[in-house]
C-alpha cells in the first residue's frame, strides 16, 4: 500500500508529540474514530499514551490508500506517517498531516461503539472496554495511586516484606474465607489480609508493608466490594493508635497530592471536582465512636437518617455516608466496640469494651478506605480471644510466639487500592478501578 512504516524506527508516541512539532513522525496505534468530508478524512488515532486527530487530504496520498482509510472501522490497527502541527483547538493540542499510512488490520463490527451500552454488556467486554477513554483515565489514576503508595512508604523508612496468599487460617473473621484443598492434606485459605505476617516482619524490620492481592468471599453485591482487591498494609513496631492515625493522614494526603500533580488530564476526562481533592490535607478530624453514634442519633431525631443506629454495631453504608458528609475532609473514627472488631485488636485501657481501632472514612461519602489500629500484646489475652472467636489454636501458634518473644505495642492499617482510586476519580463503583474485577457473579473475562 505504501512503504512499510512499521519498519520505521523513528516512531514516536502521541504523548511525545510536543517535542516533534514541525517534524515528520510515525505513529502506531488504533483507529478511535473517523470522520470524513469529501476530500478530507479525520481519523482519530489512539496509541495508549494519548489521542490525536489526523488529517488526510485526498490529494496528498495515493488514491487506493485514501479509499482504504475511508472504509476503516473503529479499532482498526493503523500506522501513519505525517508532520506534526500544533493546533490549540485540537484535542491534545496537535494534529498530524498524513502523508503515508499502513493498515495493519482492518476491523469491522467492533462491539463497543460511541453509543450508550449497559453496564453488564461493558463488563462482559471488559477486555475491550479498557481501550475507552474513561477507563483508560481511571487506570492511569490507579497507576499513580500505586506509585504514590510505594514512594511514600519507601521514603518513610518502611521495608517491603511480601506476605503469603495461601494461608492456613483466617485473619478477618471466618465468614469471608475462600477455601481450597491443599494437596488433600488440609484446607488452605486465600489471604484476607497480610497483617498477621506483617506483625512478624515488623518485629524483624521495625517498619514494614505488604502490598498485594487480597481475597474476601463477599456475598454482598455493593459498589464498594470486590472479592479480589489490592491492599497495602503498613505495620510499625513500638507504635500506637495515634501513630497509625498520624500515618494514615500523611499517607492519604500524599496520594491525593500526587494524583493532582500527575493526572490533571485524566481528572478532566472524569469530570472530577479537583477542589475536593485539594482539601485532603492534614489534620483530619478524629471522632470517637461514641461521638459518631451521637451524631447519628441526632440525625435520626432530625429526620435526616431513616434508621436509628444502635450503639455497639458497625456502621452501615448510609451511616458512614452521613458521618463523612458532616466534614469536608476524610474523618477518622476511632475506638469501636471490641465486639464487632477482629480478635487481634488491643483494648482501650480506659474502656475494656472498646478496641483501639480506627476506620478512615473518605470524604464525599466514599466510605471506609482504611481500617487499622493497635494490636493486642498480651499472650494470655490473645489465647482467650482465639477461644472466643473459635479460631484453630494450632494454626496461630507461630503468631502467639510474637507475644512470647519481645512483645511490644505495635500498630498498622490496611488500605484497599480500589476504594482509594474510586474516591480519587470521583466515580460510582469500585469495579472500574481494577483491570479485571472479581465480584459476586463476575469471574469473566
Ligand atoms: O478493614 P479491613 O478488613 O482491615 C484489615 O484487613 C486489617 N487487617 C488491615 C490492617 O490493619 N493491616 O480492610 C482494610 C481495607 C478497607 O478499609 C477497604 O479499603 C479494603 O481494605 N477492603 C476492600 N476493598 C474492596 N473490596 C472489599 N471486599 C474490601 N474489604 C476491605
Ligand atoms: Mg474495615
Q: Which tens digits make up the pLDDT trace of 234-261? A: 999 999 999 999 999 999 999 999 999 9
Ligand 2 centroid, distance to 359 Cα (angstroms): 6
Residue nearest to atom 4 of ligand 1 (CA): 371
The whole-number pLDDT of residue 220 equals 84
Does 152 contact ligand 1 (Cβ within 6 A)?
Answer: no
How far is 6 from 102, CA to CA, in rounded Å? 8
pTM, full prediction: 0.96
Q: Compute the CA torsion angle 320, 321, 325, 326 (nearest 10 deg).
A: -30
Does 372 contact ligand 1 (Cβ within 6 A)?
Answer: yes
Task: Take residue 279 and report the three cell numbers written for it.
Answer: 482539601
Q: If you compute the radius of gyration of the chain from its CA atoms, what whole number of angstroms results?
A: 27
Ligand 2 centroid, distance to 368 Cα (angstroms): 7
CA atoms within 13 A on the CB side of 383: 7
Judged by its nearest atom, the ligand closest to the C-alpha of residue 336 is 2
Does 330 contact ligand 1 (Cβ within 6 A)?
Answer: no
Task: Take residue 95 and report the three cell numbers written for it.
Answer: 494534529
How far is 417 from 406, CA to CA, in rounded Å? 32
The whole-number pLDDT of residue 282 equals 97
Query: Among candidates 203, 196, 206, which has minimal Cα distance to 163?
Result: 196
Q: Which domains does the chain have, with CATH numbers?
A: 14-105 (2.40.50.140), 126-433 (3.30.930.10)
Does 413 contact ligand 1 (Cβ within 6 A)?
Answer: yes
Does 43 contact ligand 1 (Cβ within 6 A)?
Answer: no
Does 315 contact ligand 1 (Cβ within 6 A)?
Answer: no
Does 415 contact ligand 1 (Cβ within 6 A)?
Answer: yes
Residues forming a β-bridge with 96: 54, 84
The whole-number pLDDT of residue 114 equals 77
The whole-number pLDDT of residue 91 equals 84
Ligand 2 centroid, distance to 370 Cα (angstroms): 7
Q: Could you tell me if 439 and 225 are in contact, meaning their C-beta atoms sit under 8 angstroms apart?
A: yes
Residue nearest to atom 2 of ligand 1 (CA): 371
Judged by its nearest atom, the ligand closest to the C-alpha of residue 414 is 1
The whole-number pLDDT of residue 8 equals 54
Residue with cell 499472650: 379
How far is 180 from 187, CA to CA, in rounded Å? 6
Q: What is the position in ligand 1's atom list of the atom closest to the CA of 198? A: 12
Ligand 2 centroid, distance to 183 Cα (angstroms): 32
In tens digits, what is the pLDDT along the chain, a chain of 445 residues? 444 545 556 799 999 999 999 999 999 999 999 999 889 999 999 999 999 999 999 999 999 999 999 999 999 999 999 999 999 998 889 999 999 999 999 999 999 987 889 999 999 999 999 999 999 999 999 999 999 999 999 999 999 999 999 999 888 988 899 999 999 999 999 999 999 999 999 999 999 999 999 999 989 889 999 999 999 999 999 999 999 999 999 999 999 999 999 999 999 999 999 999 999 999 999 999 999 999 999 999 999 999 899 999 999 999 999 999 999 999 999 999 999 999 999 999 999 999 999 999 999 999 999 999 999 999 999 999 999 999 999 999 999 999 999 999 999 999 999 999 999 999 999 999 999 999 999 999 9
Q: What is the position in ligand 1's atom list of the atom closest to the CA of 235? A: 12
Ligand 2 centroid, distance to 218 Cα (angstroms): 13
Q: Could you tell me if 433 and 418 are in contact, meaning their C-beta atoms sit under 8 angstroms apart?
A: yes
Does 371 contact ligand 1 (Cβ within 6 A)?
Answer: yes
Q: What is the position in ligand 1's atom list of the atom closest to the CA of 373? A: 11
Ligand 1 centroid, distance to 370 Cα (angstroms): 7
- Pocket probe for ligand 1: among 178, 197, 210, 229, the residue whose CB has the most ligand atoms within 8 Å is 229
Amino acid at each position: 500500500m505504501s512503504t512499510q512504516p512499521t519498519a520505521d524506527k523513528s516512531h514516536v508516541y502521541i504523548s511525545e508529540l510536543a517535542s516533534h512539532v514541525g517534524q515528520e513522525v510515525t505513529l502506531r496505534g488504533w483507529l478511535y474514530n473517523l470522520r470524513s468530508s469529501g476530500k478530507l478524512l479525520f481519523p482519530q488515532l489512539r496509541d495508549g499514551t494519548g489521542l490525536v486527530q489526523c488529517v488526510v487530504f485526498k490529494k496528498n496520498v495515493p488514491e487506493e490508500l485514501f479509499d482504504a482509510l475511508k472504509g476503516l472501522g473503529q479499532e482498526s490497527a493503523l500506522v501513519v506517517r505525517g508532520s506534526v502541527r500544533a493546533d490549540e483547538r485540537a484535542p491534545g493540542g496537535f494534529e498530524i498531516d498524513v502523508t503515508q499510512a499502513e493498515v495493519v488490520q482492518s476491523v469491522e463490527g467492533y462491539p463497543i461503539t460511541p453509543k450508550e451500552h449497559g453496564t453488564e454488556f461493558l463488563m462482559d467486554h471488559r477486555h475491550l472496554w479498557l481501550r475507552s477513554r474513561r477507563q483508560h483515565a481511571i487506570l492511569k489514576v490507579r497507576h499513580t495511586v500505586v506509585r504514590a503508595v510505594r514512594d511514600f512508604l519507601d521514603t518513610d523508612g518502611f521495608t517491603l516484606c511480601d506476605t503469603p496468599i495461601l494461608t492456613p487460617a483466617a485473619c478477618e473473621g471466618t465468614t469471608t474465607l475462600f477455601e481450597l484443598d491443599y494437596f488433600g492434606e488440609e484446607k488452605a485459605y486465600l489471604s484476607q489480609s497480610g497483617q498477621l505476617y506483617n506483625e512478624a516482619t515488623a518485629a524483624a524490620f521495625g517498619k514494614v508493608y505488604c502490598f498485594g492481592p487480597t481475597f474476601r468471599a463477599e456475598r454482598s453485591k455493593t459498589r464498594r466490594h470486590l472479592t479480589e482487591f489490592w491492599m497495602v498494609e503498613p505495620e510499625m513496631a513500638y507504635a500506637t493508635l495515634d501513630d497509625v492515625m498520624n500515618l494514615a493522614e500523611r499517607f492519604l494526603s500524599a496520594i491525593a497530592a500526587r494524583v493532582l500533580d500527575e493526572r490533571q488530564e485524566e481528572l478532566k476526562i472524569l469530570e472530577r471536582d479537583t477542589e475536593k481533592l485539594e482539601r485532603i490535607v492534614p489534620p483530619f478530624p478524629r471522632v470517637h465512636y461514641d461521638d459518631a453514634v451521637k451524631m447519628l442519633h441526632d440525625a435520626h431525631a432530625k429526620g435526616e437518617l431513616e434508621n436509628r443506629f444502635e450503639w455497639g454495631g458497625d456502621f452501615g453504608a448510609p451511616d458512614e455516608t452521613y458521618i463523612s458528609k458532616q466534614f469536608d475532609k476524610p474523618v477518622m473514627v476511632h475506638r469501636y466496640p471490641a465486639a464487632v472488631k477482629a480478635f487481634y485488636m488491643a483494648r482501650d485501657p480506659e474502656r475494656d469494651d472498646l478496641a483501639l481501632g480506627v476506620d478512615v472514612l473518605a470524604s464525599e461519602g466514599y466510605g471506609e478506605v482504611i481500617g487499622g489500629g493497635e494490636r493486642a500484646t498480651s499472650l494470655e489475652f490473645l489465647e482467650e480471644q482465639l477461644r472466643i472467636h473459635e479460631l484453630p489454636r494450632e494454626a496461630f501458634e507461630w503468631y502467639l510466639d510474637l507475644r512470647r518473644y519481645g512483645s511490644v505495642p505495635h500498630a498498622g492499617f490496611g488500605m484497599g487500592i480500589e476504594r482509594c482510586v474510586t474516591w480519587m476519580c470521583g466515580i460510582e463503583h469500585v469495579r472500574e478501578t481494577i483491570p479485571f474485577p472479581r465480584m459476586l457473579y463476575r469471574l469473566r473475562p
